[in-house]
Each structure stands twice: as structure tokens, then as C-alpha cells.
Structure 1
Amino acid sequence: MVACERQLLGLALACIGLLGSIISCALPTWRILTAFENFTFITFLTGSKYNKMVEGLWKTCAILPTGQTQCTRYKDIPLPEDMKAARGLIIIAIIIEVLGILLGVAGRNFMNFVPDERQRSKMALTSGIAFLIAGFFVLIPVSWTTNNINDHFHPNDPKVVKKMELGAALYIGWFTTVLLFLGGGLVCSSFFRRNGTGLTFLFFK
């Protein structure tokens, strides 16, 4: 695969990664808490019985046995510290991804935003590095949240959750991390050429 094709494929993967980051950030299913009964975390459900609750970066929702969903935003209830950190990191990742995509598009040879070829190459290389950095900013919160998942949350109180599970947003986050690392790696690899003595770094071909 030639360098320009690697750049284009890496940029496409990063665009999909940006979409995944936005979806992961918006979904309220980072953690799934099950086996609730008479739980008073959401005040308007005090005394009611339900067996599933989901937590996201922006709101938490209780799923009633009837299938109805009732949600509360974190401005009305305290935001857990790990969710607060995850929210900030994901938002930073999205901003970096947007900047990386803009740099990647401006650095493409068929674009004339920057007439100097060497400057375009530097912009394209910077976009690849940005995708790698964004991948770490997504990896940290999903790994942190995954590490905090356990099945013995408040084990001595039968009225509080008995089980924690991974939500769909975390799986999307893992997939997004892979896409960003692949995209950034492909873009950066297009600036290396193999010769008789090894790999040579290129700013432009």
C-alpha cells in the first residue's frame, strides 16, 4: 500500500473513530447496575422496585419492570468522580480528533489550502500524531471505568445494587480506541520509507 493510500485509509478510520467517540460520550450506558430494590438514589423513584439502572457521562436512567425508562441528569444528582474524569477526557479526545481530521484533510495532496508541499506533509503527520493522542484519551476513561466494574458493590446492603456490568458505551469506546490507533499509525507510517539500511523518515515524497 502506497503512502497516499495509507494516509487516506488512516483518515477514514479516524473519521469513524470520531463518530464512535461522540456516540460513546452521548450514550447513557457506561455502566449497568442490576438487582435494585427500594433504592433511593433517584428521589422520584423512592420506594419503587426496579432491577436495572444505567449510568452514563451525562445522566443516569432507571429501567422499570414495565420497560419504561426514567432518567435524571447529573445536574440534579452528584456526578461520580470517575464519570467526571471520563467526561472531560472524552471531550478532549473529540476535540483532538476534530483538529486531527481538519489537519489531515488540509494536508492531503489534492487539497490546495496550503500551497507548500512540505507544510502539507507536516500537517498530515501532525494529524496522525493527533489521532494517536486521541486514542489514549479514549483508552484511559474506558479502561478506568472497566477497572471499576465489580459484582460486589455495597455487598452488605441488600437494598443496593448487587451487580455491575459493562455498558455498550464502553465496548464502543474500546472499538474507537482501536480505530484511532490504527488510523494514526497508518498516517504516521506513510512518512517512513524502507531502504537498504532500514527505515527513512520522510516529510514528503
Structure 2
Amino acid sequence: MSYPSDQTQRRITFMPVKARRRVDPDLIGQWRLPGQPQIYEITGDGAYHISEPAAQLRFEDGGAGLVWQDHRYFRMSGRGETPVGAWREVTSRDVWIFDADGTYTVKSACVEGWRTFSGIWGLAEGNQQMWVREMRAFVKSDQDAGALTMLTVHGHRLHYGYHKSQDGWSLRDVSNGRTLTRFRNARSSQMDPMATAAQ
């Protein structure tokens, strides 16, 4: 499966125009954290995503069961050896819904009840692996002040400082200026798993 169309991605990252965030253009792109396989991406509309690398995918009992990322799922809807349909993770009881248009939704239990996450998915390595990219927040930055605000998909507002460097940027504690983490350009450090999936 190739990378979902621009139309699909726009639908996933949509938010009302008045709520869209202005973001420093130097923060737009795909980034990695030291020692982590995930890709952290900021898009032009300020959307912040986290992509998991492609992981082995295996179906059981003709598509009634699924093993992915070392977790086991049982099918709630749909049929056949395809991720399309609804699945429940055996241990956490989270519900994953994979749609045929390349989008997905996760309903995860929490103290408040249920939280919903969404993103896009695709297959790689001859449909033997699956990757996901999840929407986490929207970002607004003030270049002059070196300030960055994240509004999470669940309504939490997080405030940070940030500093740009030649090969990336760092996120800083707004209270004391201490560096919390450093983002490095993903394409210069390691191959993008989603680019691999699209080949």
C-alpha cells in the first residue's frame, strides 16, 4: 500500500481555520530523537504527528486474529487477512479501527473513560509489515521569543521554549531553560520507514 493521498492526510489533520496554529517554518519536517525509532513530524498547518516504524504483521485463523507490534488482537468486524475492520487488543482492551482509505482510530480506556486517537496507516514489505502515524497535537511558535505551545488532541496546553541549531532543534523547559530533548533531521539520520513503505 502506498502512502495515503494528500486528500486523506488533509482530512486527518483538519481543524477549524480560526484554531489553526502558526509555526516556525524551520520546525516543519520529520525529526528523530536520539536512540528512538519513531519519527516526529510537524506539518505546515502546525499538526504534530508521531510515526511508529513498520512492524511485522501476522494473521491467525483466517483473519480472525492479528499479531502486530508483539500484541495480539481479535477481530470485531470485517473479514479476511487484512487489517481493515475493528480489532480489540487482548491485554489493554483498546479498540483499533482500520479503514480502507488508510485512516485509523484507536479508542483507549483511561481514568476518565475512553480517549480517542486517530492517524493514518499503511503496509510495507509485501504486506508483511504495518506502520502507523498518529496525530498528537497542534503547535504554535513565537520565533522572536523562542516559545512553543502544544495543544494536544485532548485539550491540554503545554508550554516550552525552543532553540534551533544547524541539524535540528531542541525543546526547553520554559521555567529554567534546561534542554529537555533534541530533535534531529530524520532523513539525514536514518531512512524514513514510510518512504520505504511507499516504494
TM-score range (shorter-chain normalised) is under 0.3
Length-normalised TM-score, structure 1 = 0.25
Larger relative contact order (CA 8 Å, sep ≥ 6): 1
Length-normalised TM-score, structure 2 = 0.26
Q: Which has the higher strand share?
A: 2
